[in-house]
Amino acid sequence: MYGQAGILYNKTIWHAFFGTLFLATVCALIAGTIGTLIGYAVAKKRRNKWANYVNNVAFLPYLMPSIAVGAAFFILFSNEHINLFNTYTLLIIAGVVKYIPFASRSSLNSMLQISNELEEAAIIMNTPWIKRMTRIIIPIQKSSIISGYLLPFMTCLRELSLFLLLCTQGFILSTTLDYFDEMGLYAFSSAINLILIVTILVFNTLVNKLTGASLDSGIGGK
Amino acid sequence: MPEIVLENITKRWGKFFGVDNVSLNIPNNSFITLLGPSGCGKTTILRMIAGLETPTEGRITIGDKVVFDSNAGINVPANKRRVGFLFQNYALWPNMTVYENIAFGLKNIHEEMPVIDVEAKRAGDMIRALQNGSRIKEIVEECRDKNGKPDENKAYVKLIDNYSISIYTAKELFALGIHLAQEPDTLAKAKVMEYEAKLSDIKKKLRSEEKDINEKFQVTKGGKVVLENRKLTKEEIDARVRACSRIVKIGMFMDRYPAELSGGQQQRVAIARTLAPEPQVLFMDEPLSNLDAKLRLEMRYELQRLHVETGSTFVYVTHDQMEAMTLATRICLVNNGVLQQYAAPLDVYNRPANLFVADFVGNPSMNFVDGKGKQAEDGSIVLDILGEHKAKFVPNEKVLLSDWREAREKEDADKLEFEHQRLMKKGAVEKSNKDEVFKYHVQRVEEQDESIMDEPVITDEDFVLGIRPEAIDIEPEGRIKTKIYGAMPTGMESTLKLRVGEFLLTGVIFGNSIYRIDQDANIDIKGKDILLFDRKSGKLISAGALEIT
């Protein structure tokens, strides 16, 4: 245990760092897309009882403690029939389910702001659905949809309790941090923490600069 | 070409009937307004024809194509109905510039159309523009900014407007530098030669393939225009966008975003966007309601002109009776989801079918006067009106009241029977928003609270007279003695409130005389357009003249 290479030279940490980045990116992309579509669908058919049902189910994971969701997925996916323990697949599935509420909420709010007529005007002109989404709906609500992607990404980077039961210590950064902390290597765990914070800040600034959307100006806001 | 037919269209939400069994025939090339108070179902009718709302029952035909039939289970989606729709709040896409807004719909068009040789068309346009070199120089000279440098974008727009060319051709034309030459005409001549050579090259090449081009630069084969399923080319899209923006005069705002335009300009962009795909039917949902009074009047003229220029069928929704009267070839009045009258504007004004129509159309509103009386032998009806006055109503055409009542009762019975039959069917729902006879308003000096009074017992001797304000005339010999209760002179005419006993009448007197409040005035009721309504059903019995005795 002692005699670890310094954090910037430590293979375990770098491996975990890229693992975290990969996981967060994939989770954010999937959860953000599904969440946006849920928001769109629910906003379109607000009176429909199925729409409400979908909306509530999508929100459910938010109400449960992360560790409980993690435990549920652990039991579901690592038994004698399927064993996904310590794979990105399992982490991604768990992450996506957990983070859909962030994306669906922010997207639902923004979709409700778009007047239905904007889309009807395009429908009348025989515009296919995919073009309506990419050329009208998404550009108009660009900032809140990007928030819908950004929130899962940021949260996923620092998530520990959800993933704690689902992988070994060197797999992603937060479990690695926890591992070093418990082993008493506080300098290491603090440094990893710093890496996380700097990463989050860098990404936030990058997205901010590139798209004009940001988390600090609120979800669904301008 | 498209004629729109609605047959027994019903739209309901639960027990609320938004539109109740409406049948309508909209002829080709007409301008129809759907008129009614807010919430009466007129927008719903429009949205159902456009396909944005699904009727509960009925059948809609556009042209020779059935687009909706509840029995046959046909429902053509809105995007396949090939109609244009102008929304009340314009619904411009805020993330696109004016140009992109108009061009967006054009990019989706994919249908059979003549093949056009782009190169040849461009050459042809250049030759046309280059005929007069000094004119081009003039146009560009007009666009110099304060530093004396020509403003390119402004020059492009000017060239486009002058020669009806696309932006690509305009750029090419500008790049030739005619405006820089000492002798623009000579240079232009030389360039014309070049382009003519180019054009004949293209023709030669086409002829080698046994094809040719006609004067519209459409490729022909064996004397016939070649048709192809294709999308519009960039040039064509540009040309159409420019053409539409020229109609509504927004050529100079092409690069602005909707948020950077005034209400009237946004409205015009919305019109241009709707016109660009050249729809044969154009639906408009209260498009002028967001504009100020002056602009509204101006846009009204433009819409009228557009209707003539485009030759399309217009269906227009409004709650403004003035707009409906002035624009439409026919007005369709709706109340509580039920069609009240469908006729030409002046017919609606002069011969309203019932009390609701009479009250809704016309400003200032019609005077309603309760009358009690019987029909005399000669067909005239003697009535007690306005307290102590007696009047003789002489209908323009002979009506026998007993026959009329019989017909009315039969109609009511038929309606009841129809409703009964409908409710017998499985799944039929009772209308929760019941149809009632319109409660007309009789003007009095002391307003009565009708809600606390007993319902009057209405017999067959009860009538309502409808008198348009312009039928009232002040004359020294007038039979009815009144006092002026209020006067509103506007210069061209004066709107007067006249007091007769406890009742008030509204009159419009033309000319600019001055009236004093409480001055005595004798009035007569003139003309043959006095209306007699049945009080029980609210329906028009006849129009005629009124003699006060």
pLDDT tens readout for residues B399-457: 777 788 888 888 888 888 888 888 887 777 777 777 777 788 888 777 776 666 667 77
Q: What percent of chain B has pLDDT over 70?
A: 99
Pick the CATH number of B4-82+279-343 from 3.40.50.1100, 3.30.2320.30, 3.30.1330.40, 3.40.50.300: 3.40.50.300
The per-residue DSSP string of B230-250 comes to: EEPPHHHHHHHHHHHHHHTT-
Q: Which among A128, A136, A142 has the least Cβ separation from residue B93?
A: A136
Looking at CA atoms only, how far is residue A44 from chain B in angstroms? Answer: 13
Q: Which amino acid is at B358?
A: A
Most B-contacting residue of A117, A125, A131 (CB-CB within 10 A), to test interface: A125
CB < 8 Å from B in window 43-72 of A: none
B50 vs B37: CA distance, rounded Å: 21
Looking at CA atoms only, how far is residue B154 from chain A in angstroms? Answer: 28
Q: Does A210 touch chain B (CB under 8 A)?
A: no
Answer yes or no: do A124 and B109 touch at CB < 8 A. Answer: no
Chain A residues in contact with B79 by the CB 8 A cut-off are 123-127
β pairing state of B530-534 and B211-213 = unpaired
Res A86: pLDDT: 85
Answer yes or no: do A140 and B93 touch at CB < 8 A. Answer: yes
Phi/psi for A201 (5° steps) reads -60, -45
> How many CA atoms does the CB half-sphere of B508 hold within 13 Å?
16
Answer yes or no: do A120 and B93 touch at CB < 8 A. Answer: no
Looking at CA atoms only, how far is residue B84 from chain A in angstroms? Answer: 7
Q: Which among A115, A139, A142 has the least Cβ separation from residue B91?
A: A115
Chain A residues in contact with B273 by the CB 8 A cut-off are 121
B157 vs B304: CA distance, rounded Å: 26
- Would you kindly state where each structural domain of chain B is located, as residue ranges? 4-82+279-343, 110-231, 363-427+436-450+457-549
Phi/psi for B335 (5° steps) reads -145, 135
Q: Does A130 touch chain B (CB under 8 A)?
A: no
Answer yes or no: do A131 and B108 touch at CB < 8 A. Answer: yes
Answer yes or no: do A121 and B91 touch at CB < 8 A. Answer: yes
Answer yes or no: do B89 and A115 touch at CB < 8 A. Answer: yes
The answer to whether domain A7-211 has CATH 2.40.40.20 is no
For B51, nearest residue in chain A (alpha carbons) = A124
Is pLDDT above 60 for A26? yes
Answer yes or no: do B277 and A125 touch at CB < 8 A. Answer: yes
Chain B residues in contact with A117 by the CB 8 A cut-off are 87-89, 91
Answer yes or no: do B87 and A125 touch at CB < 8 A. Answer: no
Return the minimum-mean-pLDDT range out of B233-242, B384-393, B498-507. B384-393
Question: Which of A30-34, A109-113, B367-371 tops mean pLDDT?
Answer: A30-34
Virtual CA dihedral for A63, A65, A66, A68, nearest 10 degrees?
-120
Q: Is B332 helix (H, G, I), strand (E, B) or coil?
A: strand
Chain B residues in contact with A127 by the CB 8 A cut-off are 79, 104-105, 108
Answer yes or no: do A118 and B277 touch at CB < 8 A. Answer: no
Q: Which among A124, A127, A139 has the least Cβ separation from residue B50?
A: A124
Rounded to whole angstroms, what are the CA distances from B242 to A181, B163, B452? 68, 11, 63
E strand or H helix that includes residue A74:
helix A66-77
pLDDT tens readout for residues B276-323: 888 888 898 888 877 778 878 888 888 888 888 888 888 989 888 888
Res A219: pLDDT: 42
Res A194: pLDDT: 92
DSSP state of B419: H
For A138, nearest residue in chain B (alpha carbons) = B95
Say if CB B477 and CB B503 are below 8 A apart: no
Q: Does A118 touch chain B (CB under 8 A)?
A: yes
B314 vs B281: CA distance, rounded Å: 6
> How many CA atoms does the CB half-sphere of B91 hold within 13 Å?
25
Contacts across the A-B interface (CB distance below 8 Å): 57
Chain A residues in contact with B109 by the CB 8 A cut-off are 126
| B155-159 CB contacts, 8 Å cutoff, 24+ apart | B157/B251, B157/B252, B157/B254, B159/B129
Answer yes or no: do A118 and B95 touch at CB < 8 A. Answer: no
Most B-contacting residue of A110, A120, A126, A131 (CB-CB within 10 A), to test interface: A126
pLDDT tens readout for residues B510-541: 877 788 888 888 888 888 888 888 888 888 88
pLDDT tens readout for residues B136-178: 777 777 777 777 777 777 778 777 777 777 788 888 877 777 7
pLDDT tens readout for residues A99-158: 999 888 888 888 888 888 888 888 888 888 898 888 888 888 888 888 888 888 988 988
Instruction: Give me the sheet containing B219-221, strands edge to edge.
Output: B211-213, B219-221, B224-225
Answer yes or no: do A118 and B105 touch at CB < 8 A. Answer: no
B217 vs B198: CA distance, rounded Å: 14
For B52, nearest residue in chain A (alpha carbons) = A120
- Would you kindly state where each structural domain of chain A is located, as residue ranges? 7-211
What's the CATH code, domain B363-427+436-450+457-549?
2.40.50.140
